[in-house]
Structure 1
Amino acid sequence: MIALVYFTFLVLSTLAFGLNVFIKKSKTDEQVGNNPNFVQFQHAYFLPYFLALAADWLQGPYLYKLYSHYGFLESQIAILYVCGFAASVIFGTSTTVLADRFGRKKLCITFTVVYSISCLTKLSRSYGVLIIGRILGGMSTSLLFTAFESWYVHEHIECHDFPTEWLPVTFSKATFWNGVLAVIAGLVANLLAGFLKLGPVSPFLLAVPLLAASGLIVTKKWQENYGNKKMQLKKSCIDGLRHIVNSQRMLLIGAMQSLFESVMYIFVFIWTPVVDLDYHPPLGVVFSNFMVCIMIGSFLYKILTANRVKPLHILNAAIISALVATVICIGSTKSHYEQPKVSFLAFLILEIACGLYFPSMGFLRNEILPETHKVSIMNWFRVPLNMIACIGLMILHDEGWRKGTRHIFILCSILLIFALLCGFKFSRLYKDEEVKKEVESAA
Structure 2
Amino acid sequence: MYAEVFGILSAVCVAVRWAQYSAEKRDHSASVATGEVAGSTAAAGFGSFQRNYLLVYLLAVASDWLQGPYVYALYSSYGYDKAAIGQLFIAGFGSSALFGTFVGSVADKYGRRSNVLFFALTYGLSCVTKHSPDFKILMLGRVLGGIATSILFSAFESWLVYEHNKRGYEPSWLSETFSKAQFGNAIVAIVSGQVAGAAAGVAGKVAPFDVSLLVLVITGVVVAATWTENYGDSTQSVGGGLRNAWRTIMADEKIVLVGIVQSCFEGAMYTFVFMWTPALQTASDLTAGGKEIPHGMIFSTFMVAIMIGSSLFTFLSKQAPEELFLRNAFAVSVCVFAVATLTTALVPVYISFLLFEVVCGVYFPAMATVRSRYVPEETRSATLNFYRVPLNAIVVFMLYKNWGTIRVLQLCALLLLVATCCQHRLYSVSKVSIPRGNDVEDQEERREMIETDEAGMADAIEKVSS
| TM-score range relative to shorter protein | 0.7 to 0.9
Kept in 2, the 8 Å contact 1:296–1:355? The answer is: yes
Cα deviations by residue, 1:316-350 (Å, 9 ceiling, x for unpaired) = 22222222332333356xxxxx7666544432222
Give the paired residue count.
424
Q: Give the whole-Å Cα distance in 2 for the aligned partners of 1:172 and 1:288.
A: 19
SS of 1:83 mapped into structure 2: helix
1:12 equivalent to 2:19? Answer no
Deviation at 1:168, TM superposition (A): 4.5
Kept in 1, the 8 Å contact 2:90–2:396? The answer is: yes
Cα deviations by residue, 1:213-252 (Å, 9 ceiling, x for unpaired) = 2223334444555554322333333333334434444433
Kept in 1, the 8 Å contact 2:106–2:238? The answer is: no
Please provide the CA RMSD for this pair.
3.5
Cα deviations by residue, 1:238-293 (Å, 9 ceiling, x for unpaired) = 33333443444443333222211111121233334545676554544433222221
1:114 equivalent to 2:113? Answer no
Kept in 2, the 8 Å contact 1:187–1:288? The answer is: no
Q: Give the whole-Å Cα distance in 1 for the aligned partners of 2:431 and 2:170.
A: 29
Q: Which moved more, 1:250-259 or 1:41-50?
A: 41-50
Alignment of 1:206-217 (within 5 A): 206-217=211-222
Change (3 A) 1:82 1:439: farther
Change (3 A) 1:204 1:269: farther
Kept in 2, the 8 Å contact 1:95–1:146? The answer is: no
Change (3 A) 1:250 1:208: closer
1:408 equivalent to 2:422? Answer no
Match of 1:288 in 2: 300
Change (3 A) 1:320 1:19: same
Match of 1:51 in 2: 59
Match of 1:25 in 2: 24
Match of 2:463 in 1: none
Alignment of 1:238-317 (within 5 A): 238-275=243-280, 279-306=291-318, 308-317=319-328
Match of 1:173 in 2: 180
Cα deviations by residue, 1:76-95 (Å, 9 ceiling, x for unpaired) = 43332222222222222133
1:185 equivalent to 2:185? Answer no
Match of 2:137 among 123, 129, 138: 129
Match of 2:150 in 1: 142
- Unmatched tracts of structure 2, length 5 or more: 283-289, 434-445, 459-466
Cα deviations by residue, 1:20-45 (Å, 9 ceiling, x for unpaired) = 22220256634599445554444444
Match of 2:453 in 1: 439
Q: Give the whole-Å Cα distance in 1 for the aligned partners of 2:160 and 2:431.
A: 36
Change (3 A) 1:37 1:296: closer
Q: Give the whole-Å Cα distance in 2 for the aligned partners of 1:164 and 1:432.
A: 21
Change (3 A) 1:130 1:321: farther
Kept in 2, the 8 Å contact 1:57–1:186? The answer is: yes
Q: Give the whole-Å Cα distance in 1 for the aligned partners of 2:225 and 2:257.
A: 44
Match of 1:365 in 2: 371
1:418 equivalent to 2:418? Answer yes
Kept in 2, the 8 Å contact 1:252–1:426? The answer is: yes
Change (3 A) 1:344 1:241: same
Change (3 A) 1:188 1:438: farther
Kept in 1, the 8 Å contact 2:107–2:115? The answer is: yes
* Identical positions, percent: 36
Match of 1:335 in 2: none
Alignment of 1:335-374 (within 5 A): 343-374=349-380
Q: Give the whole-Å Cα distance in 2 for the aligned partners of 1:428 and 1:154.
A: 27
Match of 1:229 in 2: 234
Q: Give the whole-Å Cα distance in 2 for the aligned partners of 1:280 and 1:292.
A: 22
Match of 2:340 in 1: 329
SS of 2:130 mapped into structure 1: helix
Q: Give the whole-Å Cα distance in 2 for the aligned partners of 1:275 and 1:125.
A: 32
| Amino acid corresponding to residue 262 of structure 1 in structure 2 | G
Kept in 1, the 8 Å contact 2:178–2:365? The answer is: no
Match of 2:102 in 1: 94
Kept in 1, the 8 Å contact 2:309–2:361? The answer is: yes
Q: Give the whole-Å Cα distance in 2 for the aligned partners of 1:98 and 1:27.
A: 40
Change (3 A) 1:13 1:203: farther
Change (3 A) 1:419 1:174: closer
Kept in 2, the 8 Å contact 1:298–1:356? The answer is: yes
Deviation at 1:142, TM superposition (A): 1.8
Kept in 1, the 8 Å contact 2:306–2:358? The answer is: yes
Q: Which moved more, 1:28-37 or 1:9-18?
A: 28-37
Cα deviations by residue, 1:45-88 (Å, 9 ceiling, x for unpaired) = 44343322222222233434444555544444333222222222
Kept in 1, the 8 Å contact 2:337–2:412? The answer is: yes
Q: Give the whole-Å Cα distance in 2 for the aligned partners of 1:437 and 1:360.
A: 29
Cα deviations by residue, 1:299-332 (Å, 9 ceiling, x for unpaired) = 22322333x2343332222222222332333356
State TM-score, norm by structure 1.
0.81
Q: Which moved more, 1:346-355 or 1:368-377?
A: 368-377
